[in-house]
């Protein structure tokens, strides 16, 4: 497998973009690895919209795999909305509007190549829409046991201000508690999936200082207070302030709609 991916064909393609999958997420099966590389090339623009992918023999030679593996890989790319294979005409790259951004490989590649942060801005907007609604629902239906757990988690956040990395993990756990308590399983699944990919990006995580962590804690405390008071509108408003404000504080200074809206 190592020898196949050391071939000149792959080396020549390396200049097109960061094609090497993260080492800790390297797919185990050869076909999965081929798909990962091709997704990255398409999303990065190395294979532009309306361009035709290399032929089966060319892909077989480059990746050192059989035609069966290549054909299965192309089918997976079609399922993700990235390409359309037509007999006699090759495999053509489709418009991004049809790409499945909820697919983990596609979303991860989009975030990796998100030079203007537009995907991360969109992700934050999705979080606002869904998590504000779930915070409001949580305030209406949270059980006493869940309320106690949320209090304890808010206290854990306060105790981890000295450790930004751990604070980040406990922050995620706080939000997870609220989403689970809301009972909105679909909303939770969507946020859980897209947020996990976003957190792999240093552009999304930032490097918070103590002042920013204290501001974040105050916002979490406000969310907690509104939920425990049963104030659904207050909980939604507090969640909005926190998600938008947190992104504005850590968003790299790149022009974009979300940054302008938040005043960054």
DSSP for 180-237, please give it.
HHHT-HHHHHHHHHHHHHHTT-HHHH----HHHHHHHHHHHHHHHHHHHTT-HHHHHH
Q: Is 0.85 surpassed by the pTM of this model?
A: no
135 and 230 housed in the same domain = yes
245 and 132 housed in the same domain = yes
pLDDT at 254 over 90: no
Structural domain harbouring 33:
4-98
Residue 120 banded pLDDT, cuts 50, 70, 90: very high
Residue 9 banded pLDDT, cuts 50, 70, 90: very low
Whether residue 217 contacts residue 156, with contact meaning beta carbons closer than 8 Å, is answered with no
140 and 249 housed in the same domain = yes
3-27 burial code (b ≥16 CB/10 A, e <16): ebbeeeebeebeeebebebeeeeee
20 and 90 housed in the same domain = yes
pLDDT digits (tens, 9 = 90+) for 144-176: 999 999 999 999 999 999 999 999 999 999 999
How much is the pLDDT for 32? 82
How much is the pLDDT for 33? 87
- Domain's final residue, options 51, 69, 98: 98
d(CA 134, CA 191): 11
Residue 2 banded pLDDT, cuts 50, 70, 90: very low
Is 103 inside a domain boundary? no
84 and 183 housed in the same domain = no
How much is the pLDDT for 198? 92
pLDDT digits (tens, 9 = 90+) for 212-245: 999 999 999 999 999 999 999 999 999 999 999 9
Stretch 195-215: mean pLDDT: 90
pLDDT at 257 over 70: no
Residue 190 banded pLDDT, cuts 50, 70, 90: very high
d(CA 157, CA 222): 13
Is 131 inside a domain boundary? yes
């Amino acid at each position: 497998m190592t020898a196949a991916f050391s071939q000149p064909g792959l080396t020549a393609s390396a200049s097109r973009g960061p094609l090497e999958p993260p080492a800790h997420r390297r797919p185990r099966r050869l076909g999965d690895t081929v798909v990962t590389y091709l997704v990255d090339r398409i999303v990065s623009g190395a294979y532009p919209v309306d361009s035709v992918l290399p032929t089966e023999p060319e892909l077989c030679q480059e990746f050192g795999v059989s035609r069966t593996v290549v054909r299965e890989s192309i089918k997976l790319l079609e399922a993700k909305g990235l390409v359309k294979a037509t007999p006699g005409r090759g495999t053509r790259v489709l418009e991004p509007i049809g790409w499945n951004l909820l697919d983990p490989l596609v979303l991860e590649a989009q975030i990796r190549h998100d030079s203007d942060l537009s995907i991360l801005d969109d992700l934050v907007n999705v979080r606002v829409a869904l998590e504000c609604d779930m915070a409001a629902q949580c305030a209406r239906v949270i059980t006493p046991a869940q309320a106690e757990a949320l209090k304890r988690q808010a206290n854990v956040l306060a105790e981890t201000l000295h450790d930004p990395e751990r604070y980040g993990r406990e922050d995620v756990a706080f939000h997870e508690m609220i989403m689970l308590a809301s009972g909105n399983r679909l909303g939770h699944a969507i946020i859980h999936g897209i947020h996990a990919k976003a957190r792999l990006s240093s552009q999304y995580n930032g490097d918070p200082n103590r002042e920013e962590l204290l501001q974040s804690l105050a916002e979490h405390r406000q969310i907690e207070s509104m939920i425990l008071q049963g104030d659904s509108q207050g909980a939604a408003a507090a969640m909005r302030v926190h998600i938008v404000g947190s992104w504005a504080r850590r968003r790299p200074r790149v022009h974009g709609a979300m940054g302008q809206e938040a005043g960054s």
